[in-house]
Amino acid sequence: MRFVAFLLTKLLVYVLIIVIGVTVVFLVPRLLPSGPVEALLARIMAGGGFMEPAQVESMRVSLTQTFGLEGTLWEQYRGFIERVLLAGDFGPSLAMFPTSVNVLIRQALPWTLGLLLTATIIAWILGNVIGVIAGYRKDKAFSKVLELIAVAVYPIPYYILALILIILLAYLWPVFPMSVHVRSAPLSLRFLATVVHNSFLPALSIIIVGVGWWVISMKALSSSVCEEDFVQFARLRRVSDGTIMTRYVARNAILPQITALALMIGGVFNGALITEIIFDYPGLGSLTYMAVMQSDYNLLMGTVTLSIVAVATATLVIDLLYPFFDPRIRYR
Amino acid sequence: MRGLRLRDAGVELRIGVALLLAIIILGLVVPAFAPEDPRRWNTVPRNLAPGGDYLLGTTSQGQDVFWLLALSVRNSLWVGFTVGVIATLFGAVVGMAAGYVGGLPDRVLTLLTDSFIVIPALPILILFSALLEGRASLLLVGCVLAVFNWPRPARQTRALVLSLREREFMRTAWFAGSNTLQIIRREIAPYLTGWFIANFVYTVLIAIATETGLAVIGLSNLQDTTLGGMIYWALRHQAILAERWYWIGPPTLVIIVLSVALFVVSSGLSKLSARRRGL
């Protein structure tokens, strides 16, 4: 009974968060002075096309209709919610008319997921292993050096690191390509190898920054677990160092890291967006960038809504699963 | 043992503060001595390597890299400062109100905070800048960044206030007849000052990093140069292919040093204030 009440509250909050988030995203572009219609008109005129004022006006009306921007804000909003949140249909892309937004997203999603999930999970495992070792032996010189490196690397923005990697590994010592040049092809071992080769630099920039953060947080967590009585007791019982480190310290310190991993996976889209743009990586980030540059509202709403749902879902799943990982926490 | 660790933390914090001060001086004091507006083209010979009359060389547009760098640092710091002030203050007010008042207002505010946290800020910012076509003033860019950066301080303030609320002295203040506003102002706020500053510094870091990101892809204010904008123009004019490291190198280096310094100062301060709170 208690669990049902807990579940219902969480679900209600989940739905509300998504609705509020999507509403904000819906409102922001519409509050701006210039919209996609004016942007497109300006682009057409800048292209050299001469039009009579009357033609411009009729063009404006037809564009407004095509973009679904006619009617009051409220009418637009109601139509939007009905179409998007209830039917999951984002409509046609305005920039690549008449391809539907759903199709574009379906093409880009595997790229982004492949890159970000792989990079984030590698960084998580690597960072936590290093973090536990550094936290367990926190007075040793090497763990201080490790933390120092982590502190010096983690705050660097992704794209600055990406830029440095491009200069070092694609220009000065050209091992990897400057930008990603694979588009979809039949699945084969060779194709996969090209994908890995092409995605290496963007992945590396995400991994380096990620590892920095996991080392810093895991070191703090595990060194505080080390102070606890049960670890002291295990030491007195002469349990081996390796066992203490893995079974006693890592196991207890890893819990908050699992939460953080889920949130990171939900939110990594945000941070990696510019990385994708810099490397011209054919994922959701570049798609979003294209949507923005072409004032493609539908496409933009599609990618952003997807990202909001991803973050909200990650939070919900963590809230629901946490008691399974940590028996000390009860549903309430 | 314990004293040693305290001193270690102190060294880190001191190095961070020193680096930060150096960059602040570069940004706030140095630009005042610029011989002319560093943004103007063809004020100096083009493509000169560092050394000689021009400390860090000159760009392919005929700008002096050193003065341009100083001006960029000033603008980046200015954006960071604006966002830091607005977001931290607003977040703190929301967090304190939610945590201290509790009940329905808390639920509503927490829901709002959580909703803003899941909104991916970058696409919205990119859209914003694209629609304004690089003409948004730095102040406007700062304000928009602030809209997406208040939830984190709000959430943390709320958590801190919730833990403070249960302490003995809060009840004492309540029984002594202080009202809600007085308690927030006199009992809670002073307790959090050190932590506020840490949070402020961290928000400045995020703001500068985000603005740099926007600028690197050419979507921040392109007239008033910032560190990211400088990198953008260097890339646009093929500084990498032409191997003009003295053009693209300095802003990249300053961004890295600035980020690391801000991070070290922020985490050092929050450790310090946690210790003072007896945690």
Does B122 contact A273 at a Cβ distance shorter than 8 Å? yes
Instruction: Look at residue A110 and tell me if it is in a domain.
Output: yes
With beta carbons under 8 A apart, name residues in chain B contacting A29: 127, 131
With beta carbons under 8 A apart, name residues in chain A contacting B111: 13, 16-17, 20
* DSSP for B179-247, written as a single string: -HHHIIIIIIHHHHHHHHHHHHHHHHHHHHHHHHHHHHTT-S-SSS--HHHHHHHHHHTTTTTTT-HHH
Instruction: Look at residue A92 and tell me if it is in a domain.
Output: no
pLDDT of residue A33: 61
Does A167 contact B240 at a Cβ distance shorter than 8 Å? yes
pLDDT of residue A199: 84
Among the ranges given (A5-14, A134-143, B163-172), the one the predictor scored with the smallest mean pLDDT: B163-172
Does A32 contact B231 at a Cβ distance shorter than 8 Å? no
Are both A184 and A231 inside the same structural domain? yes
Contact assessment for residue B8 and residue B37, using Cβ atoms and an 8 Å cutoff: no
Q: Report pLDDT digits (tens) over A218-240.
A: 888 888 888 888 888 888 888 88
Question: Given the structure tokens 């990897």, which residue do they identify?
Answer: A176
Instruction: Look at residue A94 and tell me if it is in a domain.
Output: no
Are both A59 and A160 inside the same structural domain? no
Segment 35-64 of chain A within 8 Å of chain B by CB: 35, 39
In whole angstroms, give the CA distance from residue B220 to residue B158.
32
Selection from A265, A261, A303 nearest residue A101 by Cα: A303
Does B127 contact A18 at a Cβ distance shorter than 8 Å? no
Selection from B214, B180, B234 nearest residue B58 by Cα: B234
pLDDT of residue A279: 84
Does B263 contact A273 at a Cβ distance shorter than 8 Å? no
In whole angstroms, give the CA distance from residue A123 to residue A84.
34
Helix axis angle for A297-325 and B121-132, nearest 10°, is 160
With beta carbons under 8 A apart, name residues in chain A contacting B122: 270-271, 273-274
Selection from A157, A180, A160, A186 nearest residue A286 by Cα: A180
- Average pLDDT of the residues in B254-274: 87
**Tokens at residue A282, please?**
């054919």
Are both A284 and A184 inside the same structural domain? yes
- Minimal-distance CA residue of chain A relative to B208: A157
Are both A20 and A142 inside the same structural domain? no
pLDDT of residue A18: 85
**Tokens at residue B278, please?**
């007896």
> Has residue B8 got a pLDDT over 70?
no
Which residue, A51, A86, A121, sits at the end of a domain? Answer: A86
Confidence of residue A330 (pLDDT cuts 50, 70, 90): low
- Average pLDDT of the residues in A242-247: 83
Question: Measured between CA atoms, how close is B185 to chain A, in angstroms?
Answer: 31
Are both A74 and A153 inside the same structural domain? no
- Average pLDDT of the residues in B85-101: 89
Which member of A155, A166, A266 has the closest CB to residue B263?
A155
> Of B118, B240, B263, which to mutate for an interface test with A (greatest number of A Cβ within 10 Å)?
B118
Q: Report pLDDT digits (tens) over B19-69.
A: 999 999 998 888 888 777 777 777 777 777 787 777 777 877 778 888 889
- Minimal-distance CA residue of chain A relative to B242: A171
Confidence of residue A332 (pLDDT cuts 50, 70, 90): very low
Q: Report pLDDT digits (tens) over A294-318.
A: 777 778 888 888 888 887 888 788 7
**Tokens at residue A283, please?**
């994922």
Q: Report pLDDT digits (tens) over A107-138.
A: 888 888 888 888 889 999 999 999 988 888 87
- Minimal-distance CA residue of chain A relative to B245: A167
Does A311 contact B127 at a Cβ distance shorter than 8 Å? no
The answer to whether A155 faces chain B, any CB pair under 8 Å, is: yes
Instruction: Look at residue A100 and tell me if it is in a domain.
Output: no
| Total domains present in chain A | 2
In whole angstroms, give the CA distance from residue A53 to residue A242.
79
Q: Report pLDDT digits (tens) over A6-64.
A: 788 888 888 888 888 888 778 876 776 666 677 667 766 766 666 777 777 887 777 77
CATH of the domain at A281: 1.10.3720.10
With beta carbons under 8 A apart, name residues in chain B contacting A277: 217
With beta carbons under 8 A apart, name residues in chain B contacting A292: 123, 126-127, 130
The answer to whether A14 faces chain B, any CB pair under 8 Å, is: no
Instruction: Look at residue A96 and tell me if it is in a domain.
Output: no
Distance of CA A196 to the CA centre of its chain: 20
Q: Report pLDDT digits (tens) over A266-289.
A: 666 666 677 888 888 888 888 888
Are both A74 and A34 inside the same structural domain? yes
Distance of CA A209 to the CA centre of its chain: 14
Are both A79 and A136 inside the same structural domain? no
Domain that holds residue A43: 2-86
Highest mean pLDDT among A81-90, A174-183, B263-272: B263-272
Does B115 contact A20 at a Cβ distance shorter than 8 Å? yes
More confident residue, A178 or B3: A178
Does B116 contact A307 at a Cβ distance shorter than 8 Å? no
In whole angstroms, give the CA distance from residue A208 to residue B222.
30
Are both A177 and A308 inside the same structural domain? yes
**Tokens at residue B112, please?**
């709002």
pLDDT of residue B134: 61
pLDDT of residue A268: 67
Instruction: Look at residue A160 and tell me if it is in a domain.
Output: yes
Are both A59 and A131 inside the same structural domain? no
Instruction: Look at residue A99 and tell me if it is in a domain.
Output: no
> Has residue B3 got a pLDDT over 50?
no
Among the ranges given (A275-279, B14-18, B125-129, B140-144), the one the predictor scored with the smallest mean pLDDT: B125-129
